[in-house]
Structure 1
């Protein structure tokens, strides 16, 4: 999702902090992902293409570099963000530094092509470098691949930049491909080697896809070729006019548009309606250029310029590549490979989409589209997004890899997306957000998909009332899906996001959600998460949690769900995280639930990962904690329920009593006064309140004006401390304390009327003592 800024921390990084984060070489120093700065290594690798019956059926055989023969340096396994191993498929890769270093693959099937995912260091102030890497076939040098960092290495926070000075590097990989010119048999050796002319400081190879590519398809009899209207393959001229003319002629004559083998340059959008555009295969027919795209009618304006109305129907885009030149993300800019409205039985099939902002960004309302058998890679935003009132779409058998936002998203902004099916797709390494996301709408289905290696601000599969979407209704079906190493440490929240998660920050979520026959494997943090708002009517049946860094279930919002045959093994901590109290989230337990009975409330634990292929020991699945754990300092508010007049999504009131100073509550922006109340459970004698903000030095000094009150019955309050400016200074721990006459109180309330550092109230820890 790209139009709303992500959840943001109100921090001001110093120039020194920014310059310290500059990345100019291969070795990346990552910021810690936990208080201790340590994250457990990845468990044994499981390929997203090894899940029988799930994910996309692809025409290639994938091999991971770390499993090939090499004299290079194997990196990983590791899960830290902003590291090459953390961003690699399977969290491992091979780095080649120096002449003679190589990685060599042995073919398991005949192949005549290679497609590699790689990283070379950034350079030229973020503009990137380009360097060759030698390709050897059966021991003889065949050619050189051209590798570049032009389209990779983004920095900072959303919407990201090409400036290394902003720190937080990500999207460090890209891909390139080549035909061998001949077919190699199974058992043949394919080597990538650093020779004397290969001048990148280093090369990191993540994986290689080997495919037996068919010969170029022949021209259909009933077609208009773009070459008949002036397009010339492989020259330096702009073929845009020729493509526009060919589309118009084919539509008028009831024929297809033919793109023969070759590379053609197109530098604007080609509008398509009631027409088929066909190529000789995406390995052979390539359309590339700055601002290239094929759009149906209904194209939005590009940053306020252009656009058109209407809806296209009966469009087919088949068997060619669209490769753009997008290096900067600008959300209002229409630089997507495929866009507009494509309904009425339209088809997108057999395409390669690369180096555009979004692979397919489609705007409704419209009905009836099939998207199948496509490879969408190296995008700077979503892989595919159905936006606003789109229905009857089948998204099937596609690969989405190295996507900088949601892999596949249904976004019901203003109008509900409904009756769409997402099935048998594979989503690997989405940089930000989720593998598959359903934002509102009704009666949508996601089945038999695989999502692997998510990175930040999202999880594997997500359902939410977010981004001004029409609230979830009908029945949303999630069935027979698998996540691998999914879920993240969210860089804003600073706690884990689930491999499967639900978020009602825009309003209560009560539409039925069925989760059945699902495997959540080797989750980075918790397997399942509920957060924000109130979430009810969720039904789990036949869910297998096989390894999770922290919890099986993380509850951070009130609600209700039913669990039957939900099993958990290999948990890094307890079965359930819950600091809201036992009745805030109602769990209905059916039969067959095992491995997640115990509950934890406390500071966020570091994740611990076990090998999900090895049966866990008893101690792995019976982590013992208390609910809530006693606070050794005597803080009576620890783990107690809280309420507030408002809260910003992702910054709930429960953060103020969770014992974790790095998480915090924040009210809605621009409105004071705001109040925060803690229920101590029973009347206690209290005489001191300590308030905290996150300890990071990047939090600038601020003062909050507030009053402290108490009550024994929750309705009549007395003032304990009158309105005062409380100073929070990171150099002294971002802590403010006040004492008052000992008082009997069950409820303690803060009323905040001003904040000099942010236009909202903010508290990370609300501590109440009798001393």
Structure 2
């Protein structure tokens, strides 16, 4: 981690002179003449407040010591150290530090020499997906000082998403505006039998039976875990004792018994204690006026489906204290209509959530206003499909909330968000957190309001897609920004990313007035922006610039004003220090920059003015235009073939090639290594050049089809080399003659409905027909409540093809119900015939609420329709998954 603060320290000498007259520097020809202006009154108090948050001390203080497998001096490997890569769709781009180690073949290993004693470790790793999605499972040996301690069970079930938001588990590669395989990483932890002294060598090694085609190791987090927390002497009830007798082995579902214990403790003014063990639940646990205490994050584990603590809403639950436990969900796909897969969900006032490990949930903590006086601290939130923490002022304001000393990694959306959706997030503190690799949007996002909010002392690293390190935005229908927002003493490392929706880079600190003017005071003071791949500060136009070759600003757009940028360090920036694309102004003083890639300021006549104060260094140059030199982008960065037959070509997989520069790029030879072949993609073939990057120009990108023909059994490692006038780009290729299995693999029959278009006779809001083929059993289609029967759900398979059966499911935790269903088929979508007459079908939770309906032999239709004429469980038709098999 780079902390070169000397230029920043030099600028601090100028802060005492902020009251001096300032010079307004016009940025474009014909702009207003220079004028004097006093320092904004908000600056002095913001500078004083920033003194409490030196950026060199930014971040959480977690219990663990982290070693990066690729860059730590304590890490050693005979595997491949993957070079830094900032481009979305590569294994490195989603890794902490933008590097990782790849292990291919027996004997390859990475080892960590402990700098201090430890008895537990958490590894951040990646495995390939299976060809049909769903992930694979593979072991990997863990050794201590050369002796095998255990075989870790790794999985990619909770990784690998495809397509545009909200994503799917079905593998495909398509256009660069989001249809890129991503989200490769997951975590596995292990508690050693004894404490390992400093100097111990802990190794991950590929041994016989460790059969994944490749393994990638990013980080190892070592810590010393104390003894289990004992039941307090008074005030708590042990849930495993009579009268509750909650099973702590994980063998049975304990939802009802655990809820009974919580309710009784709440009524009696007591807390519940969960001893060391595993507790399997299948529905959210409702909490209000109660303490829930575990034996520790490494000892008390809640797992299963719908692993959630649910707070009341409007009014919020109060006096809730949950601490010292882990919550491991089983969420492998994002489904926003599924509200029961968030670790903490709802309203929590005068409450505290602390020392909780949250993994494989949709969201870590989603607070719905009204809520006040909540503390979130000591949380470890990893591998979610959506946000880490979101303070959502939906039903009322979220106020006086402290989000402090939390570690968040690999969240599927914002790491931490303050979303003033209908009311304000006000007087909230987001301080001393570490947020790594958010998969979509910002490390920290502030959407609307912001009065009295403080974002300070946070360590923000490695933005992955469509976002910034800190996003300050009037967006997502949020209420207007008001009051003062202070952004103080944060360290932003490798934040910001190329945005394929705009075809240029997003800055480390982004101001985006998407839905209205932003004119409330924002103080950005004492922050360090280090190794930004693109701009340091970006002011985005609400009418976004279209394409990297833009030299003409939009004629309209909402404005940004009353922004004060003071005493910041910019060290290493790929493009610009200021990317000024919105109308408005900002005051800048005592801000130093070095290692600037293209120019100090990007300005193409958007009407933005920088009012320059004393102490600015290193960004006097200006330009209009995005970089002409920009590396070629190819994705996925790693392509893996499975179950290939010796001497036979495998099915093809697509690789996309994208120009990211503001000028046309010449393409040279596209060459695969031995064992692999390449052919033009019939839909988007590559020519001899690519146009300048532009959102609507399909000639700015192309695709090739790659196949694998093995000459012998085993794994073949190769590459695809792409020559261009922007330099050479390489994509990693792996071919395996064995099936790599998992939920996908090559064995299970294909669900034809996954790629079908679903429609319905009616749909309740937020429960559309598309929920019934999203691969997620937790979401569902529901017809409009109370509408007349029949209600229909229709799948358009795109072409006439053979069908053998229909499988219908409901969420597995729902109670028994009977639906009356007829199955119909059609070749043209107009004339339907009955395939299976109307009959009653029982959805039984003991059978996973699954019903299979065989179709007549020889059925061949393009359209399959189910017609529902009754439901004993609800006054509407309900289907979670509508699956069709050949």
Q: Give the TM-score normalised by the residue count of structure 2.
A: 0.62
Contact kept, 8 Å, 2:446 with 2:472, in 1: the verdict is yes
**How big is each residue's C-alpha offset from its partner over 1:130-180, in whole Å with a ceiling of 9 and x where there is no partner?**
111101112111111110000001111111111112451110010010101
Measure, in 1, the Cα distance between the counterparts of 2:702 and 2:315.
Answer: 49
Query: Are 1:250 and 2:257 matched, yes or no?
Result: no
Say if 2:84 and 2:99, in contact at 8 Å, map to a contact too: yes
- How large is the RMSD of aligned CA atoms in angstroms? 2.1
How far apart, in 1, do the equivalents of 2:582 and 2:596 lie?
22
The match for 1:515 is 524
Taking the TM superposition and a 5 Å limit, the aligned residue runs for 1:76-115 are 76-115=83-122
Contact 1:76 1:86 in 2 (8 A): no
Check the 8 A contact 1:336/1:361 in 2, yes or no.
no
1:436 corresponds to: 444
CA distance in 2, matches of 1:607, 1:53: 34
Instruction: State the partner residue of 1:206.
Output: 218
Q: For 1:314-329, what aligned pairs fall within 5 Å after superposition? A: 314-329=319-334
The one of 467, 484, 491 aligned to 2:500: 491
1:397-446 Cα shifts (integer Å, max 9, x gaps)? 00000111000000001111111000000000111100001101122110
Secondary structure, counterpart of 2:599 in structure 1: coil
Matches within 5 A, 1:449-528: 449-528=458-537
Q: CA deviation at 1:603?
A: 3.9
Name the structure 1 match of 2:575. Answer: 550
Helix, strand or coil at the partner of 2:526: strand
Q: Give the C-alpha shift of residue 124 in structure 1.
A: 5.1
1:196 aligns with 2:212: no
Task: Please give the per-residue CA displacement for 1:313-367, whole angstroms capped at 9, x wherever unaligned.
Answer: 1101101011101111111211343344443320000000110100001100121
| 8 Å CA contact 1:336, 1:359 repeated in 2 | no
Q: Secondary structure at the match of 1:252?
A: helix
**What SS is found at the alignment partner of 1:244?**
helix
Would you say the 8 A contact 1:550–1:606 is kept in 2? no
Q: How does 1:201-280 map to 2 (within 5 A)?
A: 201-221=213-233, 222-228=235-241, 229-280=244-295
Q: Which residue of 1 aligns with 2:612?
A: 589
- Give the SS at the match of 1:165: coil
**Alpha-carbon spacing, 1:146–1:697, altered in 2? closer, same or farther (3 Å):** closer
In 2, the alpha carbon distance for the partners of 1:147 and 1:182 equals 23
SS in 2 for 1:197: coil
Q: Which residue of 2 aligns with 1:60?
A: 64
CA displacement 1:191-230 (0-9 Å, x = unmatched): 1111101111111000100000011110112211221313
Measured in 2, the distance between the counterparts of 1:607 and 1:319 equals: 47
Q: Matched residues in 1 for 2:422 and 2:248: separation?
A: 43
Aligned partner of residue 362 in structure 1, secondary structure:
strand
Corresponding position of 2:165: 158
1:538 aligns with 2:538: no
Q: Which residue of 1 aligns with 2:431?
A: 423
**Equivalent residues in 2 for 1:618-657, closer than 5 Å:** none
Contact 1:508 1:534 in 2 (8 A): yes
* Runs of 5+ consecutive residues of structure 2 not aligned to the other structure: 1-53, 175-179, 542-557, 632-662, 664-690, 704-886
Residue 662 (structure 1) shift = 3.6
Alignment of 1:285-324 (within 5 A): 285-298=300-313, 310-324=315-329
Match for residue 365 of structure 1 among 370, 377, 381? 370
The count of residues paired between Structure 1 and Structure 2 equals: 564
Q: Determine the C-alpha separation between the residues in 2 that align with 1:258 and 1:337.
A: 22
Q: Which residue of 1 aligns with 2:798?
A: none
1:131-142 alignment runs, 5 A limit: 131-142=138-149
> Which residue does the alignment assign to 1:355?
360
2:55 and 2:701 mapped to 1: Cα distance?
45
Contact 1:230 1:239 in 2 (8 A): no
8 Å CA contact 2:305–2:329 kept in 1: the answer is yes
Higher RCO (CA-CA < 8 Å; seq separation 6+): 2
Kept in 2, the 8 Å contact 1:549–1:607? The answer is: no
Cα distance in 1 for residues equivalent to 2:127 and 2:256: 36
Q: Is the 8 A contact 1:314 1:342 kept in 2?
A: no
CA 1:445–1:607: 2 relative to 1, 3 Å: farther
SS at the partner of 2:128?
A: coil
**Partner SS, residue 279 of structure 2:** strand
SS in 1 for 2:253: coil
What is the CA distance between 1:374 and its match in structure 2?
0.8
Separation of aligned partners in 1, 2:494 and 2:131: 34
The alignment status of 1:568 with 2:577, answered yes or no, reads no
Supply the distance in 2 between the matched residues of 1:134 and 1:103 (Cα, whole angstroms): 11
**Of residues 594, 601, 617 in structure 1, which corresponds to 2:624?**
601
Q: State the Cα deviation string for residues 230-266 of structure 1 (Å, max 9, x = none).
A: 3212242101011101101111221111111011101
1:330 to 329, 335, 339: 335
SS of equivalent to 1:246: helix
Cα deviation for residue 87 of structure 1 reads 1.3
Contact 2:347 2:370 in 1 (8 A): no
Post-superposition offset of 1:100? 1.0
Query: Against the structure 1 CA distance between its residues 693 and 76, is the aligned structure 2 distance closer, same or farther, given a 3 Å change threshold?
Result: closer
Deviation at 1:698, TM superposition (A): 8.2
Match of residue 116 from structure 1: 123
Q: How many angstroms apart in 1 are the aligned matches of 2:348 and 2:98?
A: 39
Instruction: Please say if residues 341 and 362 of structure 1, whose CA atoms lie closer than 8 Å, have aligned partners that are also in contact.
Output: yes
Deviates more, 1:277-286 or 1:329-338: 329-338
Q: 1:564 to 1:109 in 2, by over 3 A?
A: same
Contact 1:294/1:338 (8 A) holds in 2: yes
Q: Which residue of 2 aligns with 1:677?
A: none
Superposition deviation, residue 537 in structure 1: 0.4
Among residues 394, 399, 405, which one is paired with 2:407 in the alignment? 399
**In the alignment, structure 1 residue 282 sits paired with structure 2 residue 297:** yes
Aligned mates of 2:261, 2:348 — CA distance in 1: 22
Change (3 A) 1:126 1:231: same
**154, 166, 179: which one pairs with 2:191?**
179
SS in 2 for 1:350: strand
Q: What's the secondary structure of 2:258's corresponding residue?
A: helix
> What does 1:702-741 correspond to in 2, within 5 Å?
none
Following TM superposition, by how much is the alpha carbon of 1:697 offset from its aligned partner in structure 2, in angstroms?
6.7
Name the residue aligned to 2:79: 72
Q: Distance in 2 between matches of 1:107 and 1:96?
A: 21
Q: Could you tell me whether the CA contact under 8 Å between 2:79 and 2:101 is conserved in 1?
A: yes
How has the CA–CA distance of structure 1 residues 100 and 340 changed in structure 2, closer, same or farther, with 3 Å as cutoff?
closer
